[in-house]
């Protein structure tokens, strides 16, 4: 999956020896589907040729602020508006100083002033220069303006010294760029997540329930917060702390979960049903503890409301995502649930025999009308982020909207 598909990245290259790594960074950004416009300072051209960068970017490199040809095509203001993110790698001490002072004496510094896109800076310099109070003061100034500082790393330097000042590796920078898009992905959206098991009383001391630990649902709630959403977690009884910034509603029974979800589902943007809801409840709950009088005991059970199906059949339902916990025929059962319940998406996983319930790892097969995605075994935290990403993409596709 290309994590940066359709993203427009302006890659600024300034004059440091680490500029040779920018070529690899550029190649990897393109590999992930990004459109990349390279802007080089004059000094950068002493370290790596614009021709190399042009060939890798598949478009000419911009260098001059007052370039007659460019200003009639994509001028500096258009370029600033075009960018989804500006990544400056490497960023020299000199460039960071100019950024801190709001200089606009070349194309790259001007773009940084003219854009409202997030700016990410990957410093690269000799350790002494990095530690110098002047550089540190400049870093602290740009940090206050919410410019993202990536690194620098610590280690062997081109000048033969060891210490902080190495530019982060292209793979690390790539991850940071990916994260910036993920973070804003669901800003302003309200997501309801159900998690954990429900419990149906048999008598005052016994209940019917299942082995759900709630870990997957809680990880999803956390990932949704990371993606900028406002999250309501409707949770059955589990032994997990409520994640930060999540508002939680604690319930016991399926009926309580149904009522809590339905009270706000109409105004939610996305509903994710990760709970293992108990399908049946006792028709009559004994008022006193049941005594063992006979050789067998029969309990009359009745169906619980289906929370997910109820949300999906609302007049204007949120984007509705179900889970399918199966012990066999994963795909068939999942697709049947997707269709029967009228869902936008379903995430299916095998359960039982050390899989899914009460474990930290899981694997998901995700289906939606016209598509599917396999998310191989990984910690639930990681899977949750991947799932949130997939949900966001499909949500925006359905609403034919741009992520932010
Ligand atoms: N679900 C729900 N309310 C119920 C039962 C299930 O909201 N009363 C949701 C679950 O949270 C899950 C999806 O429906 O997102 C599928 O749950 P699952 O237990 O796999 O399937 P069921 O619909 O209960 O069907 P079956 O038990 O026959 O497999």
- 113 & 216 share domain: no
- 37 & 164 share domain: yes
**Residue 221 falls inside a structural domain:** yes
Q: Please give the distance, rounded to the nearest whole angstrom, from the Cα atom of residue 276 to the centre of ligand 1.
A: 7
CA distances from 163 to 40, 106, 148 (A): 27, 30, 21
> What pLDDT shows up at residue 147?
85
**Atom from ligand 1 closest to the CA of residue 274:** 11
- 203 & 166 share domain: no
How far apart are alpha carbons 156 and 103 in whole angstroms?
A: 31
> What pLDDT shows up at residue 355?
65
CA distances from 382 to 117, 172, 364 (A): 27, 17, 11
Q: Please give the distance, rounded to the nearest whole angstrom, from the Cα atom of residue 153 to the centre of ligand 1.
A: 48
Instruction: Write out the chain in H/E/C secondary structure.
Output: CCCCCCCEEEEEECCCCCHHHHHHHHHHHHHCCCEEEEEECCHHHHCCCHHHHHHHHCCCCECCCCCHHHHHCCCHHHHHHHCCEEEEEEECHHHHHHHHCCCCCCHHHHHHHHCCCCEEEEECCCHHHHHCHHHHHHHHHHHHCCCEECCCEEEECCCCCEEEEECCCHHHHHHHHHHHHHHHCCCCCEEEEEECECCEEEECCEEECCCCCCHHHHHHHHHHHHCCCEEEEEECCCCCCCCCCEEEEECCCHHHHHHHHHHHHCCCCEEEECCECCCEEECCCCCCCCCCCCCCCCCCEEECCCHHHHHHCCCCCCEEEEEEEECCCHHHHHHHHHHHHCCCEEEEEECECCECCCCCEEEEEEEECCEEEEEEEEEHHHHHHHHHHHHHHHHHHHCCCCCC
Q: Whose CA is nearest to atom 9 of ligand 1?
A: 308
Number of domains in the chain: 2
**Residue 372 falls inside a structural domain:** yes
How far apart are alpha carbons 274 and 251 in whole angstroms?
A: 14
- 131 & 198 share domain: no
- Single residue among 180, 202, 225 that ends a domain in this structure: 180
**Residue 343 falls inside a structural domain:** yes
**Atom from ligand 1 closest to the CA of residue 278:** 8
Exposure of 370 by Cβ count < 10 A (0-12 exposed, 13-18 middle, 19+ buried)?
exposed
**Residue 292 falls inside a structural domain:** no
**Domain span including residue 233:** 190-281+299-403
Nearest to 386 by CA among 185, 168, 170, 197: 185
- 213 & 318 share domain: yes
The CATH number that applies at residue 390 is 3.40.50.10300
For ligand 1, mutation pick of 234, 277, 280, 304 (most atoms within 8 Å of CB): 277
CA distances from 134 to 139, 142, 264 (A): 9, 13, 52
- 228 & 163 share domain: no
Q: Please give the distance, rounded to the nearest whole angstrom, from the Cα atom of residue 162 to the centre of ligand 1.
A: 57
- 249 & 146 share domain: no
How far apart are alpha carbons 16 and 28 in whole angstroms?
A: 20
- Single residue among 117, 149, 180 that ends a domain in this structure: 180
Are the C-beta atoms of 120 and 178 separated by less than 8 Å? no
> What pLDDT shows up at residue 374?
83
For ligand 1, mutation pick of 199, 301, 337, 355 (most atoms within 8 Å of CB): 337
**Residue 28 falls inside a structural domain:** yes
**Residue 286 falls inside a structural domain:** no
> What pLDDT shows up at residue 400?
56
Local confidence pLDDT in tens for the 404 residues of the chain: 577 888 999 999 999 999 999 999 999 999 999 999 999 999 999 999 999 999 999 999 999 887 766 655 567 888 998 999 999 999 999 999 999 999 999 999 999 999 988 999 999 999 999 999 999 999 888 877 778 888 888 888 888 888 889 999 999 899 889 878 766 678 889 999 999 999 999 999 999 999 999 999 999 999 999 888 999 999 999 999 999 889 999 999 999 999 999 999 998 999 999 999 999 999 999 999 999 999 999 999 999 999 999 999 999 999 999 999 998 999 999 999 999 999 999 999 988 766 667 778 889 999 999 888 888 888 898 899 889 988 987 887 787 543 33
DSSP strand pairing (301-303 vs 280-282): antiparallel
The CATH number that applies at residue 132 is 3.40.50.1950
> What pLDDT shows up at residue 69?
66
**Residue 254 falls inside a structural domain:** yes
Q: Whose CA is nearest to atom 20 of ligand 1?
A: 324
How far apart are alpha carbons 138 and 129 in whole angstroms?
A: 12
Q: Please give the distance, rounded to the nearest whole angstrom, from the Cα atom of residue 301 to the centre of ligand 1.
A: 17
- Single residue among 180, 215, 239 that ends a domain in this structure: 180
- 119 & 229 share domain: no
> What pLDDT shows up at residue 172?
87
- 171 & 66 share domain: yes
Q: Whose CA is nearest to atom 4 of ligand 1?
A: 306
- 348 & 368 share domain: yes
Are the C-beta atoms of 37 and 83 separated by less than 8 Å? yes
- 243 & 367 share domain: yes
**Residue 288 falls inside a structural domain:** no
Q: Whose CA is nearest to atom 21 of ligand 1?
A: 324
How far apart are alpha carbons 402 and 404 in whole angstroms?
A: 6
Q: Which residues are catalytic?
A: 159
- 266 & 127 share domain: no
**Atom from ligand 1 closest to the CA of residue 321:** 15
Q: Find the residues whose C-beta lies inside 6 A of ligand 1.
A: 194, 254, 273, 275, 277, 279, 304, 306-308, 322-325, 337
């Amino acid at each position: 999956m290309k994590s940066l598909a359709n993203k427009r990245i302006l890659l600024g290259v300034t004059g440091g020896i680490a500029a040779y790594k920018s070529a690899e960074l550029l190649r990897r950004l393109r590999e992930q589907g990004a459109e990349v416009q390279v802007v080089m300072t004059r000094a950068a051209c002493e370290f790596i040729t614009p021709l190399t960068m042009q060939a890798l970017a598949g478009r000419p490199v911009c260098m001059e602020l007052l370039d007659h040809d460019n200003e009639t095509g994509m001028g500096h203001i258009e370029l600033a508006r075009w960018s989804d993110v500006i990544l400056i790698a490497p960023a020299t001490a000199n460039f960071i100083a100019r950024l801190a002072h709001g200089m606009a004496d070349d194309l790259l510094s001007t773009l940084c002033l003219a854009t409202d896109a997030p700016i990410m800076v990957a410093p690269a310099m000799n350790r002494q220069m990095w530690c110098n109070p002047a550089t540190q003061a400049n870093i602290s100034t740009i940090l206050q303006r919410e410019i993202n500082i990536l690194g620098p790393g610590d280690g062997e330097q081109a000048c033969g010294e060891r210490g902080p000042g190495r530019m982060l590796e292209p793979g690390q920078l790539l991850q940071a760029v990916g994260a910036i898009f993920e973070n804003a992905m669901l800003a302003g959206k309200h997501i309801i997540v159900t998690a954990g098991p429900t419990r149906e009383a048999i008598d005052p001391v016994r209940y019917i329930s299942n082995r759900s630990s709630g870990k997957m649902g809680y990880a999803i709630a956390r990932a949704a917060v990371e993606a900028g959403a406002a999250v309501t977690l409707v949770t059955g009884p589990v032994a997990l702390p409520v994640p930060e910034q999540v508002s939680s509603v604690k319930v016991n029974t399926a009926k309580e979960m149904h009522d809590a979800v339905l009270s706000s589902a109409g105004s939610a943007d996305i509903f994710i049903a990760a709970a293992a809801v108990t399908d049946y409840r006792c028709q009559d709950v004994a008022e006193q503890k049941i005594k063992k009088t006979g050789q067998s005991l029969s309990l009359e059970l009745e169906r619980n409301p289906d929370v997910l199906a109820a949300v999906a059949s609302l007049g204007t339902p949120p984007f509705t995502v179900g889970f399918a916990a199966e012990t066999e025929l994963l795909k068939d059962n999942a697709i049947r649930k997707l269709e029967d319940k009228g869902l936008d998406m379903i995430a299916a996983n095998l359960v039982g025999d050390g899989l899914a319930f009460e474990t930290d790892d899981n694997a998901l097969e995700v289906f939606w009308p016209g598509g599917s995605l396999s998310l191989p075994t990984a910690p639930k935290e990681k899977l949750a982020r991947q799932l949130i990403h997939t949900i966001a993409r499909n949500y925006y596709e359905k609403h034919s909207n741009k992520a932010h």
